[in-house]
Amino acid sequence: MPDYMFQLESRLSPEQRAAMVRIQELAAESEANLYLVGGAVRDVVSGMSIRDLDFTIEGNPSRILRELEKGGAKLTKEDESLRSAELVLAGEVDASISAAREDIYARPGAKPDTRFSTIMEDLRRRDFSINAIAISLNPNSRGLLLDPTNGLADLERHEIRALSIHSFTNQPVRLLRALRYAARMGFKMESRTAEWFNLALERKLQETISAEDAGGELRQVAREEKPAAILKAWESHALLEVVNPTLQKRHPDYEAINRIFRVREDMVSSGLRPRLFAPVTVAILGRLKDSERKAALSRMSFPSSELRSVQDVEPEALKIVKLLSGPKTASARDAYAFLEKAPLDLLAYILAESNNGKAVSKIKSYFSKWKPIRQALPGVVTELELLGMERGSKFDKVVEDFFQLQLLGRARKPEDHAKILRKLAGIKEPPKKVEEKKKPEKPKKKGEPGYKQEQAAAAGGPVTPPKIQPHRMAPGKSSPAPTSKPKPKPKKK
Ligand code: ATP
């Protein structure tokens, strides 16, 4: 059996690992069974990037949530009746913690009753088999994979399989979810699931998806790596209508979405992890008029902080552009200081959408030159230490001054570093090494080239230059033949 714990730990970012360790500690203190479930497990097994960590606990997670809050975690959503919460932990780690539960439907499509239960029942209530896998995080069974609906086999077959014939009737939002996973992972729907899916569309079940559920899915799409593919899949099944009827008619602004994703790719390849939810949402709704966009967002009941972040994208980006093209950021030093504090998502939006050359070129310099210089400063710190300067406030100032010089385009050559650092730190240049006396050359033997000249010089006589063997000139050329091998003639084809 593959070692899932090893796979999991090696695939998590250090911040995600730290979050998982803390939650495990808190669960152990509460003597509650803890499992990693859903997307994270699916992504570990299938080798995809792990976006968020969903935990399920057999019991009430509220004590764990309070402790995490004390430690600085931000709760972004809490549903006390479902004993479930979404949170952001240190290092921007997105996570959710929920009590294991069972959904009991009096009849297909009715609102389910919830009963808190065990992990196995919790897995069976989930939407698709690939999301119904868990990894135990309990001391006695750490790393054990729980897969009651055979999701691993579906992951291998690249199939999305719903867990019951009533899956779409019970929760029609799963129509949007099935297409989202299929487009994201390049999977197809398992044949019976596809039949149930088409039947649900014929019965127009999509019309019963609540605006809130549709909004939740749109929020997820704005966080996806390939939002355009998912939106196109929804559009081709006329499911965008559910999200917003005007959007189905006018279409998402696919070009704007692609522009922002090209910028995202550049940022990711330079080691950044931008969260582009707000600019991507703006791009998706880009063809809607202002008033239509506002109405669409409020109908989908976005949480107020997200609503604000989407509405602020354009005015806030404009402010940044204005500042970057004005005198306050004329020097590289001031521009750097300003950009260091600017929100990454807005910078991405400006790079994708602005035609203000000054602002765009400063942002590009920030990412491609200034930030890498800053990242290389630990090397400068080591150099300064090797020069003998003691750590302290003066030391820090020298490093900062050195960085400022580099922003101005100076002190960039490594061979100049020591000299400049000494000057900034007031360290004297080391005394120059006295050149060693040249050993007297051995007297030349009779017959050796140069023997006669040496003898004459020793006797104080005139020195006749040694005869130089003339180079063979290439016929018809006045310059010496090259000493390197001539290039071979290109072969005739
Ligand atoms: P990702 O975050 O990578 O998009 P995810 O699977 O974590 O994928 P979420 O929407 O965060 O997606 O849901 C977390 C888990 O909750 C899912 O993996 C799934 O098991 C379960 N889930 C979410 N929505 C439903 C639903 N409507 N019906 C049943 N299970 C659901």
Partner residues linked to 160 by β-bridges: 189
**Closest to 97 measured CA to CA, from 146, 44, 37, 50:** 37
pTM of the model: 0.80
Contact 281, 222 (CB under 8 A): yes
Residue 477 has a pLDDT of 38
Query: What does the pLDDT read at residue 427?
Result: 87
What percentage of the chain reaches a pLDDT higher than 70?
A: 87
Q: How far is Cα 5 from Cα 102, in angstroms, rounded to an integer?
A: 26
Cα 449 to the center of its chain, rounded Å:
69
- 134 beta partners: 37, 146
Nearest CA to ligand 1 atom 5: 39
Tens-digit pLDDT profile for residues 40-87: 999 998 888 888 999 999 999 999 999 999 999 999 889 999 999 999
Give the C-alpha distances (Å, rounded to integers) separating 96 from 145, 223, 273, 425, 461.
Answer: 19, 16, 20, 50, 97
Which residue type occupies 359? Answer: A
pLDDT at 444: 64
Three-state secondary-structure class, residue 12? coil
Give the nearest ligand 1 atom to 94 CA.
2
CA atoms of 133 and 36, how far apart (whole Å)? 9
| Residue nearest atom 8 of ligand 1, based on CA coordinates | 39
Helix axes 304-324, 290-299, angle to 10 degrees: 150
267: amino acid identity, one letter: M
Residues within 6 Å of ligand 1 by CB: 38-39, 51-52, 54, 126-127, 131, 171, 173-174, 220
Cα–Cα distance for residue pair 49/199, rounded to 1 Å: 33
Closest residue by CA, ligand 1 atom 21: 126
Judged on CB neighbours under 10 Å (0-12, 13-18, 19+), 471 is exposed
Q: Is 166 helix (H, G, I), strand (E, B) or coil?
A: coil
Confidence band for 228, pLDDT divided at 50, 70 and 90:
very high
Statement: residue 478 has pLDDT above 60 = no
DSSP result, 410-432: -S-SHHHHHHHHHHHHTPPPPPP
Other C-beta atoms closer than 10 Å to the C-beta of 224 total 17
pLDDT tens per residue across span 344-363: 999 999 999 999 999 999 99
**What is the structure's pLDDT at 298?**
84
Residues paired with residue 86 on neighbouring β-strands, in sequence order: 77, 96
> Which of 82, 102, 120, 131 is the pocket-test mutation for ligand 1 (most atoms within 8 Å of CB)?
131
Choice from 41, 43, 54 to test ligand 1 binding pocket (greatest atom count within 8 A of CB): 54
Beta bridge partners of 56: 35, 98
CA nearest ligand 1 atom 1, residue: 39
Phi, psi of 12, rounded to the nearest 5 degrees: -80, 150
In order of 44, 72, 96, 273, the CA distances from 89 in angstroms are 20, 7, 10, 15
In this structure, which amino acid lies at residue 373? I
Residue with the nearest Cα to atom 12 of ligand 1? 39
* Dist. CA 135 → ligand 1 center (Å): 16
Angle made by CA atoms 289, 294, 296, in degrees to the nearest 5:
90
Check residue 410 and give its pLDDT. 86
| Max mean pLDDT range (157-171, 241-255, 373-387) | 157-171
Q: Of 47 and 251, which is predicted with more confidence?
A: 251
Asked if residues 158 and 187 have their Cβ atoms less than 8 Å apart, the reply is yes
* Residues 255-310 pLDDT 10s: 999 999 999 999 988 888 888 999 999 999 999 998 998 888 888 878 888 889 99
Q: Which of 149-163, 386-400, 430-444 has the lowest mean pLDDT?
A: 430-444
Give, in order, the Cα–Cα distances in Å from 420 to each of 109, 301, 346, 417. 74, 58, 36, 5
Q: CA-to-CA distance for 250 and 296, rounded, in angstroms?
A: 13
Contact call for residues 142 and 136 (beta carbons, < 8 A): yes
